Amino acid sequence: PDGFVPRKSDLQNCTKDVMDLNERQRMFPRCWGIGTNEPVSEMGATLVHVPVFMSEDALKTTVNFHVWCFGSDLCSNDRCVMPANSEGTAVPLTGGLASQAAAWTATVSTPFSLRVRLASDFEIGQEWPRVKIIDEDSACDMSRLNNQVTGIGCVDSGVGKCEPAPHKTLGSASWGAGRELVWQNIEVGRSGKYGVCYCDRHYDSTCVAWQHIGKITVQG
């Protein structure tokens, strides 16, 4: 509501059922997501990734998220939410990847480029995205990089970060205003079908959410 300045308890309870809240907390809208990070910086910026869960209808109609935050270790009372206003910080909702069911082909032990198309409104820095290639039909967040793959290296864990970042980000006239991320000089040493996973949210060497974006067929 206009003039309503959220408090820490409003944010902490914003995903709960309204029947479990007090009268004041019911005035604050239900949240699409809430996130935290440890340790919290004493000074300066702190990176926080917020998982968002929205219905298809909400995705079609939402233009901006309105975001508030507080320092959980630095807040001695309930009145420490920033920004201290009813609007929050507006963060635009963009399209992300162009597809999560892409298909690629390659030849055994032959270098190729893996190209990942982006939605036209998805402006992401080149330093964030990562990919990995795993066994077909395996879960991205539980599977390590397939041992036949070279040109990509990952922390030895299902949620480990992979390197390198994309070699370049290209605009493509054939996709209109679209763009694509390009990983070069990848090789797979055995024929078959493999899953391709993508992540652009990390805490140090850990991916917050690996997601399946397609399959690659290796021939030879």
- At 141-188, the pLDDT tens digits run 999 999 999 999 999 999 999 999 998 776 654 444 558 999 999 999
Average pLDDT over residues 92-109: 94
List the one residue out of 142, 159, 138 whose CA is nearest residue 202.
159
- φ, ψ of residue 57 in degrees (nearest 5): -65, -40
- How far is the CA of 203 from the CAs of 12, 40, 47, 66, 213, in angstroms? 22, 13, 8, 23, 21
Measure the CA–CA gap between 198 and 201, rounded to whole angstroms: 10
Whole-prediction pTM: 0.85
> Can you tell me the mean pLDDT for 98-112?
96
Mean residue pLDDT across the chain: 90
